[in-house]
Amino acid sequence: MEIAFWGVRGSIPAPGPATVRYGGNTSCVSLRPAGGGLIVLDCGTGARNLGMSLMEGAFGQGRGEASILLSHAHWDHIQGFPFFVPLYYPGNKFHIYGGAQSSAMLEGILEGQMAPQYFPVQTLKNMGAGIDIAAIDEGKPIAVAGCTVRARTNPHGRAGALAFRIEEGGRSVVYASDAGYGAGGPPAASIELYRGADLLIHDSTYTPEDGQRYANRGYSSVEDAVAAAIAGGVKRLVLFHYDQDYSDAEVDALCARARRLLDERGGRGIELSGAIEGATLKI
Amino acid sequence: MRVRFWGVRGSLPVPGPKTERYGGNTSCVEVRSGAGTRVVVDAGTGIRKLGKELAEDEAGRSDVHLLISHTHWDHIQGLPYFSPLYQRGNKLSVYARKRDDLHLHAVFASQTDDPYFPVPFAEAQAEIAFRELSDAAKFEVADVKVACARLNHPYIATAYRLTADGASVVYVSDTAPFSDILFEDEFVERPPSPGAELPAKDRQKLAKMRDGVVRLCQGADLVVYDTMFTAEDYKRIPHYGHSRPSDAVDICREAGARRLVLFHHAPERSDVEIDGILADARALAAQDAAGLEVEAAYEGLEVEIGKR
C-alpha cells in the first residue's frame, strides 16, 4: 500500500512562509492498495492538488474510479471537495462513505456545501462524475478497493469523527484524525481499531500544554497520539492535523516532543514521523 | 485612509512555496479612515490574521463594518475564525446585497451549523448586526461614505466605493466583463457557442451594469479589481464569471481612476506568473497618456490614499 499526504493541517488552511515545509492545506490523504484502485481519506483543501495529479492518469480521460472516506463534515475535511477536479469529468466514478444517520443525510451535507449562495456549481448533479453516497454502519466492515475498511466514532464535536482501519493482505493503516479523548484517554473500541496497525495516522493538533488549554475543542495533543499508539501497539505513528498557528519550527518541536514521550512511556519500538504535505510512505 | 490587503486569492486558499510572495489566503481587504473607522471588505481566510491583530492591538475591543461582495466561500470562509467574534463587547456589522430567497443572517449562520463547524453562530459573543442592501445603495459608516453597484457574477455580486479623508477606493470583485454572458441566479453550464449573439435585453442589462461600475470608479484613487483570468482562461471558461487585467484597465481608463490593483488571483497562479501578468498589465496601461498606475495585490500590501 502506498500512502500520500496532500493536506496535513487542521481547522483552516494556513498559507504563508511559516508553513511551507510541513504544508498549509487541510486534511487529505490518499491510499493506493497494492492490488490497484484508490482510496481518499478526507477532502480538505489538499484534495485540490491530489485531484490535479490524478488528472494525468485515467481520471483525465473519464475512466477513473475512487472511494472517498469522510471522517466527518467539519469544513477542513470537506472544503476541498468542490475543487477536486476529477469530479467534473463525466465517466469518472466516486463512491463516498461517511458518518451520518442515513445516506440521504450525508448527501444533504455535501449538497449544502455546493448550494448557490456558497458555490457557483450549485449542486452535486452539475459536477459531472458518477457519485454514489453511503452512510457507514459502524458495526459492519465494508469492502473498498479490494480492502476491508472498519470504522469507529471517536469523540469530537457534536457528532464525533470516524476513524478508519484499512486492511489489505494482512497490512493495515489506521486514519484517526480529530479525536478528543478527554482525560480518560482513548476508549477501548478505538484502541481495538488501532490494534497492531502497521501505520497509525493520528490527530496531533496540539502540544500537551495547548491540548490542556483547549481541551474543549475535541482534538488530540501529541500526548494523546502517543497514548493511542502505545495502547494500540502500532508499529508506526504519523502525527497529523497540526494547529493552523504552528510554524514549521513548532511542528519540528512537536515531533521531537512526541519522540521523547514515546521513549519515556514504553513506545521506544514505535517508529515516528510528522506528516508532510507531498510526502509518500509505503507499507 | 489606509488600505491593507489580508487575502488576495480567489476560489480557495492555496498554501505552498509557489504562493509565498503574493500569498495564498482568500479575499479580505481592510480600509481604515483617518478618524479610525474600520471597514473590511470580504471575509476570506485572510480575515483570520486581521482578527488576531485586532485582538492584540485593541485590547479585545473592536468595531468592524464588514461589507460582503457576495457569499461564495472564498469571500466568507474566514469569518468563523475571526477571533473578535468570540469576545464580548466587540461589534460586527455585516452588509451584503438583499436577496429574495434567503436572509443574510441565515447564509452566515448556516456556515457554522452542525455538522460543518463546532461553534454555532449563536454562541458568538460579539454584538452582530446584519444589513441587507439594494443594488445601488448609498450609506454612511461614521465618516466613511459607501456606494454600491451590481456586478456580473453567478448569483450576483456587489462592488463598493468607500470615500473618506478626501480619497476613494473601489472594490470590484467578483465580476465577469460585461459583454458575453449575463450572470443572474441560474447555473451557466458551458461557454456560449462562438458567434452566438446575446438577446437585446441581456445586452442592455450588461451595458447598464457596466455604466454603473464605471460611474462607481469615477476618479477613484484606487481600484481593486477581480483579474483572476488570463485571456486564455477567458476564452476557455468565460462562464465562471471573472475578468482579465485588460478589462480592469479599460474600466479604470474610462473612469479616470489613478491606480489599479490586480486582485483575486487564480489559485493555480504562481508568484512568478503573477509577476508576468503585472508586467503585461503595466505595459498595457502605459499605452496611453492617462498614466494609470498598476500593481498586483499581495498579502501585507498597504496603500495610503488621501489625508489621514
Exposed/middle/buried for residue B189 (C-beta within 10 Å: 0-12, 13-18, 19+): exposed
Cell numbers for B224, please give them: 481593486
- Cα separations (Å) of A185 from A198, A200, A218, A273, B105? 21, 16, 12, 21, 39
All residues of chain B having their beta carbon less than 8 Å from the beta carbon of residue A81 are none
Q: Are B169 and B260 in contact (CB under 8 A)?
A: no
Domain around A70: 2-280
Predicted confidence at residue B308, as pLDDT, reads: 56
DSSP structure string for chain A? -EEEEEE-B-SS---SGGGTTT--PBSEEEEE-TTS--EEE--STHHHHHHHHHTTTGGGGT--EEEEEES--SHHHHTTGGG-GGGGSTT-EEEEEE-SSSHHHHHHHHHHHH-TTT-TT-SGGGT-SEEEEEE--TTS-EEETTEEEEEEEEP-TTT-EEEEEEEETTEEEEEE-S----TT-S-HHHHHHHTT-SEEEEE--B-HHHHHHTGGG---BHHHHHHHHHHHT-SEEEEE-B-TT--HHHHHHHHHHHHHHHHHTT-TTSEEEE--TT-EEE-
Chain A residues within 8 A (CB-CB) of chain B? 9, 11-17, 19-20, 23-25, 45, 48, 72-75, 78-80, 82-83, 100, 109, 112-113, 116-123, 126, 157-159, 217-218, 244, 277
Directed axis angle between helix B271-285 and helix B245-255, to 10°? 40
pLDDT band for position B294 (50/70/90)? very high
B74: pLDDT strictly greater than 70: yes
Distance CA B296, CA B118 (A): 36
Distance CA B33, CA B221 (A): 14
Task: Report the alpha-carbon angle A141-A144-A148, nearest 5.
Answer: 40
Q: Do A117 and B71 touch (CB under 8 A)?
A: yes
Instruction: Report the chain B residue with the minimal C-alpha distance to residue A84.
Output: B12
- The distance of A30 to chain B (nearest Cα, Å) reads 19
Q: Do B189 and A126 touch (CB under 8 A)?
A: yes
Instruction: Give me the number of domains chain B comprises.
Output: 1
Closest CB to B114: pick one of A126, A158, A218: A158
Domain around B218: 2-304
Directed axis angle between helix A248-264 and helix A222-232, to 10°? 40
Predicted confidence at residue B194, as pLDDT, reads: 81
CATH of residue B202's domain is 3.60.15.10
Distance CA A154, CA A232 (A): 15
Instruction: Report the chain A residue with the minimal C-alpha distance to residue B73.
Output: A118
All residues of chain B having their beta carbon less than 8 Å from the beta carbon of residue A83 are 11-12, 267
Largest CA distance in chain A: 54
Predicted confidence at residue A172, as pLDDT, reads: 98
Closest CB to B116: pick one of A20, A73, A82: A73
Amino acid (one-letter) located at B205: K
All residues of chain B having their beta carbon less than 8 Å from the beta carbon of residue A19 are 15
Distance CA B48, CA B71 (A): 17
Q: How many contacts does A have with B, using Cβ atoms within 8 A?
A: 120
CA A93 and chain centroid, separation:
21
Closest CB to B72: pick one of A23, A112, A119: A119
Question: Which residues 6+ apart lie within 8 Å of B87 measured at CB?
Answer: B55, B60, B62, B125, B126
pLDDT tens digit sequence for A200-258: 999 999 999 999 999 999 999 999 999 999 999 999 999 999 999 999 999 999 999 99
pLDDT band for position A50 (50/70/90)? very high
- The distance of B258 to chain A (nearest Cα, Å) reads 30
B289: pLDDT strictly greater than 90: no
pLDDT tens digit sequence for A9-24: 999 999 999 999 999 9
Instruction: Report the chain A residue with the minimal C-alpha distance to residue B116.
Output: A74
Instruction: Report the chain A residue with the minimal C-alpha distance to residue B14.
Output: A15
- The distance of A32 to chain B (nearest Cα, Å) reads 24
All residues of chain B having their beta carbon less than 8 Å from the beta carbon of residue A13 are 12-15, 24-25, 45
CATH of residue A203's domain is 3.60.15.10
The pTM is what? 0.97
- The distance of A252 to chain B (nearest Cα, Å) reads 18
Q: Do B115 and A157 touch (CB under 8 A)?
A: yes
Assess: ipTM above 0.90. Answer: yes
| SS3 readout for B66-78 | EECCCCCHHHCCC
Q: Do B185 and A75 touch (CB under 8 A)?
A: no
Distance CA A261, CA A208 (A): 10
pLDDT tens digit sequence for B166-215: 999 999 999 999 999 999 999 999 999 888 899 999 999 999 999 999 99
Find which of A8, A43, A117 to mutate to test the B interface (most B CBs within 10 Å of its CB). Answer: A117
Find which of B27, B81, B116 to mutate to test the A interface (most A CBs within 10 Å of its CB). Answer: B116
Q: Output DSSP code: residue B26.
A: B
Instruction: Give me the number of domains chain A comprises.
Output: 1
Closest CB to B15: pick one of A23, A126, A158: A23
Q: Do B116 and A20 touch (CB under 8 A)?
A: no
